[in-house]
Structure 1
Amino acid sequence: MKKYAFNDITLMQYIFLIAGIQLGIGLLQLPRELAERAGSDGWIAVLIGFVIATCSSLTIVEVMKRHPDGTLFDLLKRYVGKWAGQAAAVVTALYFAFFSYTIMVRAVLFLKSWILPKTPDFVMLILLVVPSYLVARGGVRVLGRYAELVFYITLWMPFFYLLSLRESNWLYMLPLFKEGLQPILQAVQPTLFAFLGFEVAFLLYPFLKSKQYASTGIIVANTLTLLVYLHVTVTCTVFFSPDALTHFNEPSVNVLKTMEFRFIERLEIVFLAFFVMIISTTWLPGMYFAVFSVNWMFGKEDHRRLLQWLMLLFVVSVFFVMPTFNKTDKWIDIVNLTGILFGYLFPYVLWVYVWLHDRLQRRRRGT
């Protein structure tokens, strides 16, 4: 019997889980970061980041095919030893815990700056933690259903951005390669950070029912993320201009302030509420897989108690940390650096090791 068959997910849930984790905070700030580095050519960096992220994603799938019924920890335990699986579980637990905490605190700061400036941090965090626990306690299958639901609920949002194109100037996109190739290559770095999230495939793979479509699913997830980032980046660029775009911290929200309807005064407030739902599909899997990694080390299956302690730790920590945008920027830099090592470099190293290991084993059996 398969170890993770009791909590398996469909291909669509697999796709939306990965795409949801990738969107995160990048949806709000990526257009500004690209404009600062590459101006009107920032969208080209998104395409380059997509190609690099897809290659790394497919490498992860190829590695996991060697041990389809287990996670990364089970694979390392089999190929390297028990100590390697335990070490990977510790590192992964810390990575996902810090990742989810950073994203959740950043969401609190966004909500405070736009909607509830007088509300204490711990109150905002409690308002996010309680529903997060109700979703995350259900396991991977419930997280997959939630990610799928959020996708369908927010499917209408990109069409509202098309309304801003009536007052846009497409000449802002020209000329191409205005300052050469170097600024575009510099803009690839934030794009790679924005595509992080596909590394969760290391842990999601054994839960997938139709594993033969894992490669297709992860390509579709990356493509969905690409389309969203391209849509938001191009819309903000042609509306604000590449120079004016750098003056807004969250340009994808600011562009909505220019839209007015008779039945609603501040459209961006409504959108921000839906943005929080999208961002929640980033921190929820992070919290669950942080707890999942710890449970794997101790051979436990019930993750609810540990999940409660993790969320309590999140709430209590804000009394001592007192987060600000500058602090979370530094945290995001740490998460991004770790993600680059874990998501973009580690899959190739592991693939080479597994390939050499299997080849040596075949030679020994042959002799």
Structure 2
Amino acid sequence: METKEKLAPFHATILVFMIQSGVMALILPQLLAESFGTNGWITVLGFGLMASVNILLIGAVYKLGKGRSIFQILEQSIPKFLLLPVYLALALVWTLLGCMAGKEYILIFQMYAFPTTSPMEFKLILDLLVFWLLTKGLYNMAKASTVFFWLFIWMILLLFFFYGDFKWARLTPFMFKGGKFTFLEGLDIYSSFLGYELVLLMFAYTNQKTKLIKSTLLGNAMTTFSYLYLSLITFGLFSLEQLKNKAFPLLELLAYIRFPFLERMENLLYGFFLFTVLFSILLYEWCALEMLKQVFPKMKTNFLAFILIASCFAIAYIPKTLNEVGDWLSTLSMIECGIAFGFPLLLLVVLMFQKIGSRPAHE
């Protein structure tokens, strides 16, 4: 049963950070090098700022809507039968995003650590864990994310291992030389910040005293700093051409870490990324579940959650390779970028009409 307890600001901040951080961190430096060339790491600040602007847009919805859920806002002005296709479409996008994010992580993990094991065996275990957490409700999910946060965040200290090999000369005095920026690659980079838009569905799980938008901005700032720090280190360790040719620069870094009592350290460390990937999947599936609850209000939540996760597992059979999963994610990320900016704008338009309609007649 869903708890009636509200999200605390600290839990909201950690939840946003855990949603945003994920597998994209493994390839972000390569994307920055490919798109912007020399000193491409600086552009992380720009992408983080764009995300902050989007969060402020969501904040305007939260303030004008006085903390009402997006369902209350929409259904006050639009007949529900017109909204049902929208709910189903959003549920489909978020279901597929969670599904493909999980499949990408598992394919990378299988490739590096268990090349002879079926990836779908790992996917089954991951989906069972997602289903179990999904049935616990958002408040318990947020508390669990805080625990997993501390299990994951210590990894940023590992970058100290590379200070001795870091060379400022590799950054060069030139800005953005040797890159080939395209709009689609820009969206791929921006997708590494996506996840904050899911707070749109958390309005009903907070109260006006909870600084939801400030917490979201803080979580996004933590993500931006983490990405900036990681990108700076990788640009100072590898040449531009090396970065362009490395599929997973972060895994290459982890492979340099050696302990006398442990081999293939990167396999163990990569396993810690499961904590962030898990919550990226979990929150996208939770949002999809919230949409399905509006479409099928008479169905039990746990049954809907089971159908949702079972569908995810079945869909994961379709793409077989990392390239195929990457193509799915690129398409879904473009759609999600549209949702992240377009959905708050739609809600603001609806709220403006509601405000105009509620004004008293002229005296």
* TM-score > 0.5, shorter chain as reference: yes
- The DSSP-based 3-state class of the residue aligned with 2:37 is helix
* TM-score normalized by the length of structure 2: 0.92
- What pairs with 1:253-264 in structure 2 (closer than 5 Å)? 253-264=251-262
* Residue type at the aligned position of 1:167: D
Shift of 1:239: 1.0
Shift of 1:289: 1.7
Answer yes or no: is 1:135 the counterpart of 2:133: yes
Which sections of structure 1, spanning at least 5 residues, go unmatched?
none
Match of 2:308 in 1: 310
Shift of 1:68: 4.0
Match of 1:361 in 2: 358
Q: Deviations over 1:111-142 (max 9, x none)?
A: 11111111112211112112222212101012
**Displaced runs of 4+ in structure 1, greater than 6 A?**
184-187
- What pairs with 1:267-282 in structure 2 (closer than 5 Å)? 267-282=265-280
Match of 1:245 in 2: 243
User: Are the equivalent residues in 2 in contact too, given 1:8–1:140 (CA < 8 A)?
Assistant: no
User: Are the equivalent residues in 2 in contact too, given 1:121–1:318 (CA < 8 A)?
Assistant: no
Q: Deviations over 1:62-109 (max 9, x none)?
A: 112333454222211123332454343222211210110111111111
Structure 1 or 2: larger helix share? 1
In structure 1, what is the Cα distance between the partners aligned to 2:176 and 2:288? 44
Match of 2:331 in 1: 334
Shift of 1:354: 2.3
* Residue type at the aligned position of 2:234: C
* Residue type at the aligned position of 2:241: D
* Residue type at the aligned position of 1:359: I
Q: Choose the corresponding residue for 1:144, options 142, 145, 148.
A: 142
Q: Choose the corresponding residue for 2:347, options 327, 346, 350.
A: 350
Match of 2:100 in 1: 102
- The DSSP-based 3-state class of the residue aligned with 1:246 is helix
Shift of 1:350: 3.1
User: Are the equivalent residues in 2 in contact too, given 1:169–1:238 (CA < 8 A)?
Assistant: yes
* Residue type at the aligned position of 1:139: G
Question: CA 1:208 to 1:301, structure 2 compared with 1: closer, same or farther past 3 Å?
Answer: farther
Match of 2:231 in 1: 233
Answer yes or no: is 1:41 the counterpart of 2:39: yes
User: Are the equivalent residues in 2 in contact too, given 1:25–1:279 (CA < 8 A)?
Assistant: yes
Shift of 1:212: 4.8
Question: CA 1:44 to 1:297, structure 2 compared with 1: closer, same or farther past 3 Å?
Answer: same
Question: CA 1:69 to 1:234, structure 2 compared with 1: closer, same or farther past 3 Å?
Answer: same
* Residue type at the aligned position of 1:314: C
Match of 1:16 in 2: 14
User: Are the equivalent residues in 2 in contact too, given 1:42–1:187 (CA < 8 A)?
Assistant: no
Match of 1:168 in 2: 166
Match of 2:197 in 1: 199
In structure 2, what is the Cα distance between the partners aligned to 1:181 and 1:27? 19
In structure 2, what is the Cα distance between the partners aligned to 1:298 and 1:359? 32
User: Are the equivalent residues in 2 in contact too, given 1:133–1:308 (CA < 8 A)?
Assistant: yes
Question: CA 1:184 to 1:43, structure 2 compared with 1: closer, same or farther past 3 Å?
Answer: farther
Which piece of structure 1 moves more, 353-362 or 166-175?
353-362
User: Are the equivalent residues in 1 in contact too, given 2:39–2:235 (CA < 8 A)?
Assistant: no
Question: CA 1:327 to 1:233, structure 2 compared with 1: closer, same or farther past 3 Å?
Answer: same
* Residue type at the aligned position of 1:110: I
User: Are the equivalent residues in 2 in contact too, given 1:11–1:213 (CA < 8 A)?
Assistant: yes
Which sections of structure 2, spanning at least 5 residues, go unmatched?
none
In structure 2, what is the Cα distance between the partners aligned to 1:90 and 1:318? 19
* Residue type at the aligned position of 2:268: V
Identity, % of aligned positions: 20
In structure 2, what is the Cα distance between the partners aligned to 1:248 and 1:322? 23
In structure 2, what is the Cα distance between the partners aligned to 1:186 and 1:339? 13
Which piece of structure 1 moves more, 39-48 or 50-59?
39-48
Shift of 1:282: 0.3
User: Are the equivalent residues in 2 in contact too, given 1:136–1:142 (CA < 8 A)?
Assistant: no
Shift of 1:216: 1.0
In structure 1, what is the Cα distance between the partners aligned to 2:305 and 2:323? 28
